[in-house]
């Protein structure tokens, strides 16, 4: 199986600091997951390049950006949104080349990235403080001010989307940024920074430094010149980032994944529900923080739902991203072995319905493909029911009533998203109240990636909110002001 190639050769990918393309003495290969072959050479940056990028961002913040008018920041975000839309096809091809995801999904990612900048352009001029009338003998108010230099460490599964969703509100609020992309998928992040410069974003406001997480990422997380950190990735790395930030007393926004449940009641609509459940776990081969990886289904419809989903999974087309299949590869051989390791664990305590290995038809060649997999009758404490697999593996368990459904749904250490499928409005509201999760969807899931909808976790899924107006609060700090008012003629 051979993936279509890009229409243009890829040059060496360098850091972008201010307006300078920085080349280091070392490079690393970026692999195309659909073929397993190198698709680009990337500068291997480290602490020295992070120092330069933080200095560049600091100079831009102090020199111009922090004093820029909200209308000017809004205009800059609109220009970035427009140039991302103009380069939609190029960005999607880079995203597919880098991550292996189907090109149609990558095109959506490019559109959503542009939408973030458009949305926060509108928010930039609506970032208001409050007037406090309850403070006696004073004119009291609050002001929302930027932190300064923000560090952004983004993952490999949705690099263009996650970069945009953290950078856009940071810029709109008046911060400057240093972006460290994942070493597995740096191409669209580098191109985003280049396009931002072309859109007349002032030099130094957005800097991008590729490299390994243990080198460039660790240097950014622990840098004394950073005022705020945003990290999306695994729980283990999130703990390291938070520990590094704590040494400098730096606030962090963490999104650390999930084990999101679908909860299906007997009155669900099969035509609406089943395709969305399937899509939520096979989108980008299940490499999605809020993937619907657990299916909790009422015992009266348990077997019929499992059989219908197995039929859907059996008809999915597997292939390289540029061929636009239903499911592409996982990001790397390391990730494939991780997924297959969980599959082997699942065989020990659950019933394998479909999948469970490497596809043979079509032959995956050297790509990192995994069959979409369903396990049924999964015990509540099974690793495949408790841990984030980050692959196309769906676990199914039954429940007898709403109370058991809520207990099972809340029965992991994660709390990112949940889907409730019922026509009973009262039951839906009861479930919304009971679920300990940052997002609840009723009769839909992911809500078409709406940028307006706040996103973030409960429990060990992290803290802070991205997306929506609430994200602006993550990138501003509140200053309270009280001015004494004297009564005329009294001196008091």
Q: Give catalytic residues, as residue numbers.
A: 255, 289
Contact 464, 472 (CB under 8 A): no
CA distance 437 to 459: 8
CA distance 328 to 282: 9
Contacts 24+ apart (CB under 8 A), 231-234: 231/153, 231/255, 232/153, 232/154, 232/155, 232/162, 232/166, 232/256, 232/289, 233/153, 233/155, 233/182, 233/257
CA distance 404 to 486: 62
CA distance 265 to 97: 40
Q: Nearest CA to 466 among 453, 477, 478?
A: 453
Contact 329, 33 (CB under 8 A): yes
Q: Which residues contact 20 (CB under 8 A, 6 or more apart)?
A: none
> Cα-Cα-Cα-Cα dihedral of 444, 447, 449, 450, to 10°?
180
Return the structure tokens found at 226: 């950073």
CA distance 37 to 26: 19
Q: Which residues contact 6 (CB under 8 A, 6 or more apart)?
A: 39, 93, 97
DSSP state of 466: B
C-alpha count within 13 angstroms, C-beta hemisphere, residue 194: 14
Please name the helix (run of DSSP H) or strand (run of DSSP E) that holds residue 49, with its range, or none.
helix 47-63
């Amino acid at each position: 199986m051979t993936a279509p190639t890009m229409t243009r050769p890829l040059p060496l990918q360098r850091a972008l600091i201010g307006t300078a393309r920085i080349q280091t003495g070392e490079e690393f290969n970026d692999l195309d997951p659909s073929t397993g072959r190198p698709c680009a050479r990337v500068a291997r940056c480290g602490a020295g390049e992070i120092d330069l990028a933080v200095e560049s961002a600091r100079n831009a913040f102090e020199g111009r950006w922090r004093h820029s008018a909200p209308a000017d920041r809004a205009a800059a975000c609109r220009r970035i949104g427009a140039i991302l839309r103009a380069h939609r096809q190029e960005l999607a091809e880079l995203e597919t080349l880098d991550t292996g995801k189907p090109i149609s999904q990558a095109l959506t990612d490019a559109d959503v990235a542009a939408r973030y900048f458009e949305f926060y352009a509108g928010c930039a001029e609506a970032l208001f403080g409050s007037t406090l009338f309850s403070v006696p003998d004073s004119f009291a108010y609050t002001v929302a001010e930027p932190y300064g230099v923000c560090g952004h460490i983004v993952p490999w599964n949705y690099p263009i989307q996650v970069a945009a969703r953290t950078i856009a509100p940071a810029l709109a609020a008046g911060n400057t940024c240093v972006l460290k992309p994942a070493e597995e998928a740096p191409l669209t992040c580098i191109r985003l920074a280049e396009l931002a410069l072309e859109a007349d974003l002032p030099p130094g406001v957005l800097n991008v430094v590729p490299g390994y997480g243990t080198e460039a990422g660790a240097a950014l997380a622990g840098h004394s010149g950073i005022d705020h950190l945003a990290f999306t990735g695994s729980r283990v790395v999130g703990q390291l980032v938070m520990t590094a930030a704590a040494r400098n007393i730096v606030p962090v926004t963490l999104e650390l994944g999930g084990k999101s449940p679908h909860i299906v009641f007997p009155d669900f609509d099969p035509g609406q529900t089943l395709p969305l459940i399937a899509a939520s776990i096979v989108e980008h081969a299940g490499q999605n923080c809020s993937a619907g990886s657990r299916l909790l289904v009422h015992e009266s419809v348990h077997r019929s739902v499992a059989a219908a989903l197995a039929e859907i999974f059996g008809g999915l087309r597997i292939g390289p991203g540029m061929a636009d299949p239903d499911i592409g590869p996982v990001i790397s051989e390391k990730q494939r072995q991780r997924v297959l390791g969980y599959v082997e664990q699942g065989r020990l305590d659950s019933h394998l319905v479909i999948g469970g290995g490497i596809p043979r038809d079509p032959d995956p060649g050297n790509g990192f493909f995994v069959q979409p997999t369903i396990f049924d009758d999964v015990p509540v404490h099974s690793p495949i029911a408790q841990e984030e697999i980050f692959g196309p593996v769906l676990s199914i368990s039954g429940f007898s009533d709403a109370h058991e459904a809520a207990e099972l749904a809340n029965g992991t250490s994660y709390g990112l998203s949940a889907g409730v499928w019922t026509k009973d409005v009262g039951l839906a509201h009861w479930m919304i109240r009971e679920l300990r999760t940052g997002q609840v969807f009723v009769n839909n899931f992911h809500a078409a990636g709406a940028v307006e909808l706040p996103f973030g976790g409960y429990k060990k899924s992290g803290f802070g909110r991205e997306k929506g107006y609430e994200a602006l609060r993550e990138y501003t700090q509140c200053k309270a002001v009280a001015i004494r008012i004297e009564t005329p003629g009294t001196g008091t």
